[in-house]
Amino acid sequence: MTAQPSGRRQTPQLVPHRLLRSGQIHHPAVLAEARRRREDFQLRLADRITSFAGSMNFVWLHAAVFIAWMLFLETSPWPTLTLVLSLEAIFLSTFVMIGQNRQTAFQQAKADHDFQTQELELKTNTELTRQIHALTQELHRRFIGISHEPDHAAQGPSRPHSGD
């Protein structure tokens, strides 16, 4: 848990809301996932439950409740306690799977974005390389008098133009 300036405690989020408010630059897939999770009540609830269930507060709370249950509430707590723990394990495992599915979707969105960005960079670099090559050929043609045309390249070394 993190302390807020107002003294209020806030549970950590799987995708922090601060990513949406901060002036820092973040991966677009991270920001999109943060917005998507912020807008869906079920996802926010699942995030909070998963966050709490993965904390030491959860462990201490359960230890205290189960000790009180076994010592003070029931004389023979084992059948009911076993039932409650089994049901809790079912629900918690479901929240773990929800978290894994969220992480998988996030990683896929990030990978897709990275792929699109890399493809755009490759196209841009290829076009820049072609333009640099064309400019280099033009400079050679104008200042040195050497032509590097595609049909001459296959036939051997190029020869200077006459009459330029």
pLDDT at 11 over 50: no
On whether residue 157 sits in a domain, the answer given is no
Print the domain residue range for 87. 2-148
Cα separation, 50 vs 94, whole angstroms: 10
C-alpha triplet 76, 80, 83: angle, nearest 5°: 150
On whether residue 154 sits in a domain, the answer given is no
Q: pLDDT for 101-113, tens place per residue?
A: 888 888 888 888 8
Lowest mean pLDDT among 1-5, 13-17, 40-44, 45-49: 1-5
pLDDT of residue 41: 86
Q: pLDDT for 42-93, tens place per residue?
A: 878 887 888 888 889 999 998 998 888 888 887 788 888 889 889 999 998 9
For 18-31, what is the mean pLDDT? 66
For 3-30, what is the mean pLDDT? 55
On whether residue 161 sits in a domain, the answer given is no
Cα separation, 122 vs 80, whole angstroms: 63
Q: pLDDT for 142-160, tens place per residue?
A: 888 765 555 544 454 555 5
Number of domains in the chain: 1
On whether residue 53 sits in a domain, the answer given is yes
On whether residue 164 sits in a domain, the answer given is no
Read off the pTM: 0.51
On whether residue 121 sits in a domain, the answer given is yes
Contacts of residue 32, defined as CB under 8 A and 6 or more positions apart, other chains included, come to 109
For 124-138, what is the mean pLDDT? 95
On whether residue 81 sits in a domain, the answer given is yes
On whether residue 128 sits in a domain, the answer given is yes
